[in-house]
Amino acid sequence: MSLPKKMKDHAAKHAEATEPHPAAAAKQAAQGKLQARERITAILDQDSFHEYDLFVEHKCSDFGMEKKQLPGDGVITGTGTILGHPVAIFAQDFTVAGGSLGLAHARKITKIMDHAIKLGIPLIGINDSGGARIQEGVNSLAGYGEIFYRNTLASGVIPQLSIILGPCAGGAVYSPALTDFVFVVDKISKMFITGPEVIKTVLGEEISMEDLGGARVQAELTGNAHFYAQSEAECFEQVKRLVTYIPWNNRKKADSFNVIPSRSEISLESIIPAESNKPYDVRDVIRAVCDGSDFMEVQALWAANIVVGFARMDGRTVGMIANQPMVLAGVLDVDSSDKAARFIRFCDAFNIPLVTFVDLPGYLPGIDQEHAGVIRHGAKLLYAYSEATVPKITVILRKAYGGGYIAMCSRHLGADFVFAWPCAEIAVMGPEGAANIIFKGEIAAAADPEAFRKEKVKEYTEKFASPYVAAANGHVDAVISPHQTRDFLLHALEISEEKAELRPARKHGVPPF
Amino acid sequence: MTPAQKPLRQTIALNDTVYETTLTKKYAQRKPYAPKDPSRLTAIIPGLILELRVSPGDQVRSGHDLLVLEAMKMQNHITAHDDVTVKALHVAVGDTVTKGQLLMEFE
C-alpha cells in the first residue's frame, strides 16, 4: 500500500469508527440526550480532546459476538483540558450495543484511569450504559471489578467526577458511588441497584423508574448525587465550574484566582435576626464573606439543614460548612452528619482549608433518628473533623449547644481558630431546659413557680448563653463583630498556608462507616 | 425451640430462583412503598403551631409561607412547594403536632 493510500485508508477507518450509527443516534437524540462525542466536546476546551484506543476491539466469540463489530467497544476515552486544567475523560456510548460493558470496554476505562492516577490529573466519567454485556459473562463482571478497584485506589489521590447521562444500573452504579462527585440531569439520569421489574417480581410493589432512581430522587432523597441540573448543558457548566475549585491531585493545592472582594453591600449584621429563634439563610453569611459572593453549593437539595460547598477567600479555594437555621432549625441528624463528613474528608484529602459556621440547637430528637443509627452516623462528623489536618477555622454565629457545639469543629476537635460573634450562645443546653433541670427543686418549692422559673431562665441566659464563658476558658480565641469576619478569616487562612500537623503513623483509621 | 424463638422462615425470589430463608426484623416489618401525596402537607418535625398564614380557599404561590412551626427553639417557616389552593386546615394555632401529622390539604 502506498503512503498516500495508507493515509486515506486511515481517514476512512477513523471515520467509520467515529460516525454514530444513524438509527441508534436518532434514538439517543429522541430521548433528549446528546451523543457521547458531543458530550466530550461540550465539556472540554475547544479542540483539546485527544482520543486513545479508538481501534480497540472485543475478543468475545460466543452467542454470535464474533460477527459483531463494535466501534471503540462502546466507550470513548482520552485526555483534554477544562478551562486549561488537564483531565482524563471517558464517555460510554449508548448507541454502540447500548453502551454495554464488556472486558475490552472496561479495559479502555481502566487504562485511562491508570493514566490519570499516574499523571495526577482529575478523572471524569460519563455513564450511559445498559449494564453488563451479558454475552461476555463473567468477563464483564471482571471489568466492573477492575474499575471499582481503581476508583478506590484513586480515591483521595485524584478528584473523580461521575456524570450520569442515561441508565446506570446494577453493579455499574457502584463506580460513581466510589467517586467524589456525582452529577445528574433531570429525566435523563437513572440510577438503581435493582430496577422496577425486579422489585415488582420480588416484592410485588410497583414504582416507575423515575420515582425509583431518577435525578430528582438521587439529588433530594438519597444523597447519591451531588449536583442536579435541568439539562445536559447546565450540567456541563457545573462540571467546569467545579473543576476550577479543586486541585489536579492530592500533592497540589487548587489554583489561585484573582482576588475579588466580597460584595460590600451585604451587611452581616442585618442577616441574623435579633431573636435567636428566628430563621435566616446561612448561605447569605457565606456569600457575605467569600470572594465575589460566589459560592458553589454541593448537595444543595439533600439534607439541606447543613450547607456545604466551595468558595474562595483571597483567590484560594475554601470548603464551607454551615448549619442552616432555615431548614429543620439547622439540627444535626443522620443525613446532615453524613453529608458534612464526606465533604470534609474530600477537602482534607485535597488540601482545601475548612471554614465552619455554627448555628444549631443540637441533634434532632426522635425515635426514627435513634433507630436510624444517629449515634453511628453522627460520629462520622466528629471523626472527619478530628481527622482533618488542613487549616480548620470555626465561626460561631449564634447557637452552639451541647453535642452540636462539640461536633461543629470546636477547638476540642482540633480547630486552629475559633471565633464567635457577640450574639453567640455557647452552652450545654438552651436556657429553658437548663434552668428547668438545675433549679427543678427550687422551682417546685417556690411560692410562684412560674415567676421563679422565668427569673432563673433569665439568670442562666445572662451568665451562660453568651460567647464570654467559652472565651474566658480559651475555647474561643476571639469574640469578633460580624463585619470583622472576612478580615479575621483571611488572616487566619493566610497564616495557616504552611500548616503541618503530624499524626502517629497508621495504615488507616477505622471511621464509623 | 419455643414459638417466640422460632425465626420467621419465608421465601424470597431472586434471580429466577425462590430461596428459603429467614428475614431480618427490619425487612419483615418494612412498610410498603407509598408515593408522596403532594396534596397533603405533613409535619417535618414535631413542634407547636405558632401561626397559620393561610385559610381554606386561599391560592398560594410556590415559596409562600403557609404556617410557622416552632420546634428546636426555632420558628420554622413552612412554605408551599408549588402553586397551590388550600382545601382544608387540620390544625389550629397552639396545637402540638407530631412528626408526619397531617397539617393541611391542597386541592
Residue A232, in any domain of the structure: yes
Please give the residue range of the domain that contains residue A117.
Answer: 3-245
* Min distance B2 CA to chain A CA atoms (Å): 28
Instruction: Count how many domains chain A has.
Output: 3
The sign of the torsion formed by the CA atoms of A346, A348, A353, A355 equals positive
Residue of chain A with shortest Cα separation from B78: A327
- Inter-chain CB proximity B74 and A277 less than 8 Å: yes
Contacts of B34 in chain A (CB under 8 A): none
Output the pLDDT for position A351: 98
* Min distance A142 CA to chain B CA atoms (Å): 19
The answer to whether residue A207 neighbours chain B at the CB level (below 8 Å) is yes
- Inter-chain CB proximity A277 and B70 less than 8 Å: yes
A351, A390 Cβ separation under 8 angstroms:
yes
Give me the residues of chain A with pLDDT under 50, please.
Answer: none
Q: Among A195, A230, A245, which residue terminates a domain?
A: A245
A183 and A329 in a single domain? The answer is no
Question: Which residues on adjacent β-strands are paired with residue A318?
Answer: A311
A334-349 helix and A374-387 helix, angle to the nearest 10 degrees: 20
End-to-end CA distance of chain B: 55
A152: alpha, beta or left? (left if phi > 0; alpha if psi -120 to 50): alpha
Output the pLDDT for position B23: 79
Residue A355, in any domain of the structure: yes
The answer to whether residue A398 neighbours chain B at the CB level (below 8 Å) is no
A273 and A170 in a single domain? The answer is no
Residue A257, in any domain of the structure: no
Distance CA A413, CA A403 (A): 12
Taken as a whole, chain B contains a residue count of 107
Contacts of A366 in chain B (CB under 8 A): 46, 99
* Min distance B63 CA to chain A CA atoms (Å): 13
A457 and A401 in a single domain? The answer is no
Output the pLDDT for position A122: 98
CA angle, A94 then A95 then A101, to 5°: 45
Output the pLDDT for position B1: 44
Output the pLDDT for position B61: 94
- Inter-chain CB proximity A328 and B72 less than 8 Å: yes
A408 and A453 in a single domain? The answer is no
A144 and A170 in a single domain? The answer is yes
Looking at domain B40-106, its CATH architecture is Beta Barrel (2.40)
The per-residue pLDDT for range A177-216, each reduced to its tens digit, is 999 999 999 999 999 998 898 888 878 888 999 999 999 9
- Inter-chain CB proximity A325 and B73 less than 8 Å: no
Cβ-count burial A135-145 (b if 16+ within 10 Å, e if not): bbeebbeebbe
A362, A401 Cβ separation under 8 angstroms:
yes
Contacts of residue B2, Cβ cutoff 8 Å, sequence gap at least 6: none
A237 and A100 in a single domain? The answer is yes
Residue A506, in any domain of the structure: no
Residue A107, in any domain of the structure: yes
Output the pLDDT for position B8: 57
Residue A505, in any domain of the structure: no
Please tell me which of the candidates A202, A329, A331 has its beta carbon nearest to residue B12. Answer: A202
A342 and A401 in a single domain? The answer is yes
A394, A404 Cβ separation under 8 angstroms:
no
Output the pLDDT for position A155: 98
Distance CA A250, CA A351 (A): 7
Please tell me which of the candidates A207, A326, A366 has its beta carbon nearest to residue B99. Answer: A366
ipTM field: 0.78
A409 and A364 in a single domain? The answer is yes
Residue A508, in any domain of the structure: no
The answer to whether residue A276 neighbours chain B at the CB level (below 8 Å) is yes
Query: How large is the average pLDDT for residues B4-26?
Result: 72
A165 and A22 in a single domain? The answer is yes
The per-residue pLDDT for range B63-93, each reduced to its tens digit, is 999 999 999 889 999 999 899 999 999 999 9
Percentages helix, strand, coil for chain B, rounded to the nearest 5? 5, 45, 50
Q: What are phi and psi of A253, to 5 degrees?
A: -100, 160
Could you identify the residue written with the cell 503512503? A3
Please tell me which of the candidates B13, B14, B76 has its beta carbon nearest to residue A279. Answer: B76
A 345-364: CB under 8 A from B:
361-362, 364
End-to-end CA distance of chain A: 61
Residue A123, in any domain of the structure: yes
A156 and A232 in a single domain? The answer is yes
Output the pLDDT for position A211: 93
A216 and A327 in a single domain? The answer is no
Please tell me which of the candidates A202, A205, A329 has its beta carbon nearest to residue B76. Answer: A329
Taking the complete model, does pTM exceed 0.80, yes or no?
yes
Closest CA to A243 of A83, A79, A91, A46: A83
